[in-house]
Amino acid sequence: MIRFPKIPEMRKIDVCPTPELLHLYNLENKIAVIVDVFRATSCITTAFAHGVAKIIPVAQLDECRALQQQGYLAAAERNTLKADGFDLDNSPFSYMDPVLKGQTLAMTTTNGTLAITKSRAAARVVIGSFLNRRAVTDYLLGQPHDVLVVCAGWKGKYNLEDTLFAGAVVCTLKNEFVIEDDAALAAQMIYDAAKYNMIKFIANSSHVRRLAGLHLTRDIEFCLRENLYNVVPVLENGALVV
């Protein structure tokens, strides 16, 4: 009698539209891909691509200040602006500075770092953005785990740019993974409608209006560039590394 090897069950992919809904998801044995396109995870990706050694993400300004006082360079953003007294803002261009090479940074942002710290129960936490999209999906394809894309949103609410990225990940993985629920289906549909002109597509989104008002269109365009960097930041012992 021929014995066929047991065919492994297909892995699953799902999307959590905002960290405010994370308590409804089981993170156990999953890889959580955190995305905050405008701009935290785009900054983190850019930082590692330019040689930063480690980033300690924290949810609160106080924690970030305490780390700054211990000697770390500290990045802090609230409501799209740099918080008073910190070293770095939340623009990806600020993370290309050669002086950051080899450094450890502390970082807190309105949405992105909160999404990271809330996802710590996952088997692994990785950082996704359009800038490292292919690197992230290649990484996910090579792992045995189910995937949950966690959209950082805006103060708990749904947003379009993180959903777009989630949809891009679903599109890339859908032949190898089963789509688990409607949020992932919807993200995929939105990405399919938008993929040929993302900038035009999200021109009316709330965050683009918020950033454009601060003359940050250069940041918007940069954060929507795809596959510029081949890094996959991963959370290890509370700090992001590559």
Contact positions vs its own copies (CB under 8 A): 17-18, 20-21, 24, 154-160, 163, 179, 181-183, 185-186, 189-190, 192-194, 204-207
Q: Which is nearer to its own copies, 28 or 84 (CB)?
A: 28
Half-sphere exposure (Cβ direction) of 56: Cα atoms closer than 13 Å:
19
Considering the complex, what minimum distance in angstroms separates the CB of residue 236 from its own copies?
Answer: 30
Partners of 32 in the β-ladder: 125, 148
Cα–Cα distance, 25 to 191 (Å, whole number):
23
Considering the complex, what minimum distance in angstroms separates the CB of residue 158 from its own copies?
Answer: 4
Considering the complex, what minimum distance in angstroms separates the CB of residue 228 from its own copies?
Answer: 25
Angle between helices 182-194 and 160-173 (to 10 degrees): 100
Q: Is 161 exposed, middle or buried (0-12, 13-18, 19+ CB in 10 A)?
A: buried
Considering only CA atoms, which of 106, 105, 125 is closest in space to residue 116? 125
Q: Which is nearer to its own copies, 79 or 204 (CB)?
A: 204
Q: Which is nearer to its own copies, 76 or 194 (CB)?
A: 194
Considering the complex, what minimum distance in angstroms separates the CB of residue 175 from its own copies?
Answer: 15
Q: Which is nearer to its own copies, 91 or 205 (CB)?
A: 205
What pairing do the DSSP bridges indicate for beta strands 11-16 and 146-151? parallel
Q: Which is nearer to its own copies, 4 or 196 (CB)?
A: 196
Considering the complex, what minimum distance in angstroms separates the CB of residue 191 from its own copies?
Answer: 10
Q: What is the dihedral of CA 151, 155, 160, 166, to 10 degrees?
A: 0
> At residue 44, what is the residue type?
I
